[in-house]
Structures are given as structure tokens and as C-alpha cells.
Amino acid sequence: MKITSHEVIRVDLPLERTFMGRNTFPHTILRLRTDDGIEGLGWAFVGGPMGPALAKALDLMAEQLHGENPLMRERIDRLVDAATSGSGPGLSHYVRAVFNFAVWDITGKAMGQPVWQLLGGAHAQSVTTYASGWLWRDYDLADLEKTGGELVERGFTSMKFRCGAEPRMSDEAERARVMRAAVGDDITIMVDINQGWDIPRAMEGARHFEAQNVYWLEDPINYLDVQGYSQLVNATDISITHGEYNYGYEPFGPIVDNRAADIVMIDAHHVGGIDAWKRAADIAAGAFRPVVTHLSPEIAVHLAAGITGVKTVEFMPWSFGLWEEPMDINAEGELIVPQEPGLGVKLNEDVVKAHLINE
């Protein structure tokens, strides 16, 4: 089997609700094709000037991979790494991730098995998930209450809201109180700060969130402050969660060595793909730390279904409009695991055509 052709396209998908001033979100998609007629898909949602840069990098790299065997993932990864490492963390890892997704998709289709089975098959039908595409910082208290209740009615048993933008801690605490009242005591809630605080404020916030039985406090301080995270882990009762901002799997070593996270969050795009995600998860497992996924549930569902120790998948619907059959939860509020070969997604050609970015 050899890679014989490819196509890189960019699509600007409409969003259900405005996010940080945006009504659409751009996606870059790689279609990698083989001489056996198999097409593998890889993708990333990237905005700003990095979107066109990623598309160009994928196109040039794919040309160099024509003639390569897509089943040889380690070789593909080394070739991509060698060609992109000069660009530094960020773009190079996104390029590696998109190719890695595509060759895993090809591998699964060639073997007639979904990727999660090839990863080991820990769970066959569904995996734990939490609603994350809602409850942003621009939601006022009424929006939080209304949307939280709607998510419960939809069947979610776990969800994440955001804090970190209020000038007074009492206002942050009120957001947590409203969330708890809106969803009831049986629903798991988590909070994400996106690095908005310093250590003293994170300590103060943790006490308020603990009072509302918030499960985890995510990214309260700068992701580079490993010692600061270690301090928070030791000084608070709430589970401290972070790791999504790390590029590559290597930074997870210092996190676990310093016991700087109760729960390790790993982004498959940021670390460089499925194989790199597994390496990061192995580092966490060696320190008896559970892991959770970040974004990209179409990829993450295979990681959670295939590997033991993944606590939950982030249900982020930003890419769902790309597919003929978007992901969904079952009656128990768990994410349904795809059973089709490969990654189990098929592009909705009408949507792609309607929202194609012509550059």
C-alpha cells in the first residue's frame, strides 16, 4: 500500500452560538489517498493566520509522502517531524497530528476495524463524556441557569462551565452556585479558568468551588508554572486538572514528576496525534494519574474506548457539522463509540461545498 494522492481543503463552519466574537470556525482537512482506493481523513480547527499556514504545510508535506506506506506510522511521523521541526512547537505538532489521524484512519479501513479496536478495545459501546460546547464566560447567570438545565434535559450527566473573567471572587463564586442549583446535586460539574488567575486567586477560588462540589478546577494559572500547580495540588481539595496547552508528550514528564496535577488533560492535536497522545497517557499512568481528553471528540472517543484509564471525553461539537453523522450521547449520557472501520467519520460533501474557503 502506498500514498498516491492528497487534497487539503479549508471549511468555515457556522457556530450554534457566537464564540469569542466569532460566528464561524475554520477547519483544515487533509484527504490522504492510497493506491488501494482508501481515503484517510485528518483535520484541525485553527483560526487566524495559522489556518492558511497549516493548509500550506500539509499540502507540501503530503507531496513528500507520496509513495510512502501509510501503515508505517512511526516512519511517517519521523518524516513529518524532520520536515517541520524548524517551525517550533505549535504548527509542527498540528501537522504531525493531522497526518497521524489520517494514517490511523487508513489503517483501520484497511484492516476493517475501528481505531479504538486497534488501540486495544477497552470499551465497545460507549464512554463517559461531559458537555463542554456551552456555558462560556460570556454567559450571564440567567444563561448559565437556562443552558445548564437544558443540558440535563438533553441527557448529559456531566458538564463544564467557565470562570476567570469576573473582577470579584464573589461573582465567580455566584456562577458556581447558580450552576449547582440549575443542574442539581447528582450532576457532575467542572470549571475551566484558561490560565486567568495567579496562585492566591486560585487558592481563594478553589474554596468557593469546593463548597459547590465542583469536581475539577482546570487551568487556573499559567501552564508553564509546574511548581505553582504542585502547590495548588497540595493545598486544595478540588482536583487540579491541566495539560492541554502542552505541545508534544515530553512536558508531561515534569508534571507527573512534580505531582503537579491530580488529573492530566491531553490534547491530541497539541501533542502530535494519537501515538503521541498514548505516550503522554503512559507517562501519566506511570505516576498513577488519570487522564482526560481535550477537544476533538471524534478522535478522543477512540482513545477512551481503546485505552484503559481515560476518565472522560470532552463533548465539544465544533466539528460535528463536517460529518454525515454527528456524534451523540446515549440514554445514559455516554458518548456512543463508532463501529465503522477507521475513525468512523465521513465528510458531508454538501456542507463542505457550501462552506468551502476559496483562497
Closest CA to 248 of 39, 56, 95, 28: 95
User: Is residue 359 in some structural domain?
Assistant: no
Q: What is the pLDDT of residues 228-239, one digit of tens each?
A: 999 999 999 999
Residue 194 pLDDT more than 80?
Answer: yes
Structural domain contains residue 341: no
Per-residue pLDDT of 123-181, as tens digits, reads 889 999 999 999 999 999 999 999 999 999 999 999 999 999 999 999 999 999 999 99
With pLDDT > 90 as the criterion, what percentage of the chain qualifies? 92
Q: Is 304 within the bounds of a domain?
A: yes
Picking from 237, 270, 232, the residue whose alpha carbon sits closest to that of residue 252 is 270
Asked whether residue 294 is domain-assigned, the answer is yes
34 touches 22 (CB < 8 A): no
Range of the domain at 98: 3-112+348-354
Alpha helices in 224-334 (DSSP H): 226-235, 252-257, 268-271, 274-286, 297-306
| CATH number for 161 | 3.20.20.120
What is the distance, to the nearest Å, from the Cα of residue 148 to the centroid of all Cα atoms in its chain? 21
The whole-number pLDDT of residue 15 equals 86
Average of per-residue pLDDT values in the chain: 96
Do 95 and 176 lie in a common domain?
no
Average pLDDT value for residue range 240-247 = 98
> What is the tally of structural domains in the chain?
2
What pLDDT was estimated at residue 29? Answer: 98
Instruction: Examine the domain organization and report whether 87 and 155 are in the same domain.
Output: no
Judge whether residue 80 has pLDDT over 80: yes
Say if strands 263-267 and 239-242 run parallel, antiparallel, or are unpaired. parallel
Does residue 147 lie within any of the structural domains? yes
pLDDT at 63: 97
For residues 128 and 78, state if they share a domain.
Answer: no
Give the mean pLDDT of 343-357. 96
User: Domain holding 101: CATH number?
Assistant: 3.30.390.10
Do 161 and 222 sit in the same domain of this protein? yes
Give the model confidence (pLDDT) of 22-70 as tens digits: 889 999 999 999 999 999 999 999 888 889 999 999 999 999 999 999 9
Q: Are residues 308 and 173 part of one domain? A: yes
Q: In terms of domains, do 105 and 29 share one? A: yes
Q: Does 20 have pLDDT greater than 80?
A: no
At 197 the pLDDT is 98
Q: Where on the phi/psi map is residue 205: left (φ > 0), alpha (ψ -120 to 50), or beta? A: alpha
Predicted confidence (pLDDT) at residue 347 exceeds the cutoff of 90: yes
Q: Are residues 30 and 166 both part of a single domain?
A: no
pLDDT at residue 263, rounded to an integer: 98
Residue 210 CA to its chain's centroid (Å):
25
CA 5 to chain centre: 28
Question: Is the pLDDT assigned to residue 17 strictly greater than 90?
Answer: no
> Percentage of the chain with pLDDT > 70?
100
Q: Are residues 46 and 127 in the same domain?
A: no
Can you give the pLDDT at residue 87?
Answer: 82
Are residue 297 and residue 252 in the same domain, yes or no?
A: yes
What pLDDT digit, counting tens, does each position of 93-130 carry?
999 999 999 999 999 999 999 999 999 998 889 999 99
Whether 251 shows a pLDDT value over 90: the answer reads yes
Tell me the C-alpha distance between 167 and 156, whole Å.
Answer: 30
pLDDT in the model for residue 122: 81
Q: Can you give the pLDDT at residue 223?
A: 98
| First and final C-alpha spacing in the chain | 32
Element (H, E) at 126: strand 126-127
Q: Looking at the structure, do residues 44 and 158 belong to the same domain, yes or no?
A: no
Whether residue 197 sits in one domain with residue 95: no
pTM score, whole prediction: 0.96
Within-domain flag for 343: no
Domain check: are 127 and 51 in the same one?
no
